[in-house]
A = this chain, B = another copy of it.
Amino acid sequence: MNINFFMPTKVIMTDNCIHKNAFLFKEFGQKALIVTGSNSAKINGALQDITEALSAMEIQYSIFDKVMSNPTIACVYEGAEFAKEQKVDFVIGIGGGSPMDAAKAIALLSVQEVKEEELFSGIYENKALPIIVVPTTAGTGSEVTQNSVLSNDRMQTKMSISTPILYPRLALLDAKYMMNLPLEVTINTALDALSHAIEGMLSVRSTLLSNYFAVESMKRITQCLRYLTPGKTKNSASPLFLDVREKLLYGSMLAGVVIAHTGTTAVHSMGYSLTYFKNIDHGRANALLLPSFLRFTAKSDAETVKKILTAMELNSADEFEALFLSLLGEHEQITEKEIERYTGITLQSKNISNSKVIPSKEDIVSIYSRSLQIV
Contact = CB atoms under 8 A, between A and B. Distances in A.
A373 interface: no
Interface in A1-32: 1-14, 27
Contact of A4 (B11, B208, B212, B250): B11
A8 B11 contact: no
Contact of A247 (B1, B243, B250): B1
A246 interface: yes
Given A208-B250, A216-B212, A250-B208, A5 B10 contact: yes
Given A208-B250, A212-B216, A216-B212, A12 B3 contact: yes
A308 interface: no
A173 B3 CA distance: 9
A2 B13 contact: yes
A62 B126 CA distance: 28
Nearest to A4: B12
A3 B13 contact: yes
A171 to B, nearest CB: 9
A363 B208 CA distance: 40
Contacts of A13: 1-4
Interface in A244-291: 246-247, 250, 253
A11 B2 contact: no
Given A6-B11, A8-B8, A1 B246 contact: yes
Interface in A194-217: 208-209, 212, 216
Given A212-B216, A216-B212, A6 B2 contact: no
A209 B246 CA distance: 13
Contacts of A8: 7-8
A166 B8 CA distance: 14
Contacts of A216: 212
Contacts of A175: 1
Given A4-B12, A27-B126, 7 more contacts: A1-B13, A1-B243, A2-B13, A3-B253, A4-B13, A5-B10, A5-B11
25 contacts: A1-B13, A1-B14, A1-B175, A1-B246, A1-B247, A1-B250, A2-B13, A3-B11, A3-B12, A3-B14, A3-B253, A4-B11, A4-B13, A5-B10, A5-B12, A6-B9, A6-B10, A6-B11, A7-B7, A7-B8, A8-B8, A27-B126, A209-B250, A212-B212, A212-B216
The 9 A-B residue pairs with the shortest CB-CB distance in the complex, in nearest-first order: A8-B8, A3-B13, A6-B10, A1-B246, A5-B11, A2-B14, A4-B12, A212-B216, A1-B13
